[in-house]
Amino acid sequence: MNWKYIGYFALAFIVIHIPIIGPFFRIANTLIHESSHAIVSLILQGKVLQIRLFANTEGVTYTMSSSYLASMVTSAAGYVGSSLAAYGLSLLCARGKHTVTLWFFAILAAVNVLLWVRNLFGVVWLLIFIALLVFALWRKGNWVSALSIGLFAFVLAESVSSSYTILWLSLHTPAGAGDAAGLANKTGLPAGFWGIFFMLQASLLGYLSVRTVLRKKKGLGRGSARVATPPM
């Protein structure tokens, strides 16, 4: 068991429940969620009109899709993208690539503030977030590792918890279930189906993410040790 990450997870859990500070860091997952919609839309030859980020950690992405199938895939990309990002961040953290993690967020935030985000709160949040990332990269050392692991923990927690929220909404108030409701309109499948899908993929990738960072790396055992034989 990697107890260092247990400590970071506990600290991150406390931080996300602190007023103002908690929502500030939780928006990092919203940034990934909305950017996933935008990136997939561009990959499928669509167009990104704008992204809006809000203080309550919600967000919305306006796109124009090139086809019905592209529209459906773009709608599903938000929750799946967040879950995949959490797993990718777990791999970087487990390998000690904390600087890469911060550069990933810095580049993603810069692209958003330059090209996509147009509401005042979103722009201000992105500029402050970029400044924080640059400061940590400048200070190096523990600043980089602490912020990297913290952001991973925030994205992981939000990607999983938001999937359960959308599941609850899709079953109880399907018309207000966000991406699940949009997919229900596009496919004819009930919002509850998409809520279950988002929850299952987030739970699976969340489990893999936690397992990746918590398991200890095993060295060579006695049976696998290599002994050089001196020349005769």
* Domain carrying residue 28: 3-215
> Does 54 fall in a domain?
yes
> Does 231 fall in a domain?
no
> Does 162 fall in a domain?
yes
pLDDT at 11: 74
| pLDDT tens over the chain, length 232 residues | 566 667 767 777 777 778 888 889 999 999 999 999 999 999 999 999 999 999 999 999 999 988 899 999 999 999 999 999 999 999 999 999 999 999 999 999 999 999 999 999 999 999 999 999 999 999 888 889 889 998 999 999 899 999 999 999 999 998 888 999 999 999 999 999 999 999 999 999 999 999 998 875 544 344 433 434 444 4
Burial (CB count <10 Å: 0-12, 13-18, 19+), residue 178: buried
State the Cα–Cα distance between residues 149 and 6, nearest whole angstrom: 11
Q: Count of domains in the chain?
A: 1
pLDDT at 133: 97
Give the list of residues 6+ apart from residue 216 with CB closer than 8 angstroms, or none: 1, 2
pLDDT at 14: 79
Q: Where are the beta strands (DSSP E) in the chain?
A: 47-53, 59-64
> Does 37 fall in a domain?
yes
For 46-77, the pLDDT digits (tens) are: 999 999 999 999 999 999 988 899 999 999 99
> Does 157 fall in a domain?
yes
Residue 132, H or E segment: helix 120-139
pLDDT at 18: 82
How far is residue 9 from each of residues 13, 74, 97, 150, 183, measured CA to CA in Å?
6, 31, 18, 7, 33
> Does 136 fall in a domain?
yes
> Does 220 fall in a domain?
no
pTM: predicted TM-score of the whole model, two decimal places: 0.87
> Does 223 fall in a domain?
no
The first and second tokens of residue 79, run together, are 């929750």
